[in-house]
Amino acid sequence: MQTFGTVNQPGTPGGPFNEPTRAVLSTSGEMYVSDGYGQSRVHRMTADGEVIVSWGAPGTGPSEFNLPHDVTVDHNDRVYILDRGNLRCQIFNNNGEYLTEWTDLRSPNDLFIDSDNVIHIAEGGQRISIMTLDGEVIGRWGEKGDAPGQFSDSPHGIWIDSNGDIYVSEVIADRRFQKFARI
């Protein structure tokens, strides 16, 4: 087991960590961390925890964040950052250079890329978005309610299994976990 950073000690300004929100590994074994609640930064690191590059600052412009809540890396090493407070997804290359952003999102919480390279985003406002790697919307669904298939508050986590079934978790209100079977 490895510990990165010092327990109960925020990192130095700009350095890791101060309330990170997500960590993922790329296909090359590098780690990406969204350092969301305390710093509004993203860190790319070696498997041993050495920082390769960090980027981001508080704000609303390109490469600026208001709570980077999730980080995901695709097979082309493009880095997707769900900038929840700014209601968008920003996309970067693996060196942190800004490429583009998608702004038609509602408080995006979690992003999953399935084996067909389709993006699934769990959003606030009781919505799931399904998109291409280029940001084209394939479909959206969700409505407020307590019945199966509805969301009582905010889908917070999303995952797709090898059969294409979609799993969605909610952390507020009902705190439930739903499975949507692929037909």
- Please state, in angstroms and rounded to a whole number, the distance separating the CA atoms of residues 121 and 159: 9
CA distance linking residue 166 with residue 74, whole number of Å: 19
Domain map (residue ranges) of the chain: 67-180
Q: Exposed, middle or buried, 5 (CB in 10 Å: 0-12/13-18/19+)? A: middle
Nearest 10 degrees: Cα torsion 135, 140, 142, 148: -110
Does residue 102 sit in helix, strand or coil? strand
Task: Please compute the mean of the pLDDT values over residues 100-111 and round it to a whole number.
Answer: 96
What is the pLDDT, as a whole number, of residue 15?
A: 62
The two tokens of residue 112 are 């999953």
User: Cα–Cα distance between 111 and 117 in angstroms, integer?
Assistant: 12
Domain 67-180 carries which CATH code? 2.120.10.30
pLDDT in tens, 61-91: 999 999 999 999 999 999 999 999 999 999 9
In the chain, pLDDT over 90 holds for what percent of residues?
A: 71
Q: What is the mean pLDDT of residues 32-47?
A: 90
- Burial (CB < 10 A; 0-12, 13-18, 19+), residue 12, is exposed
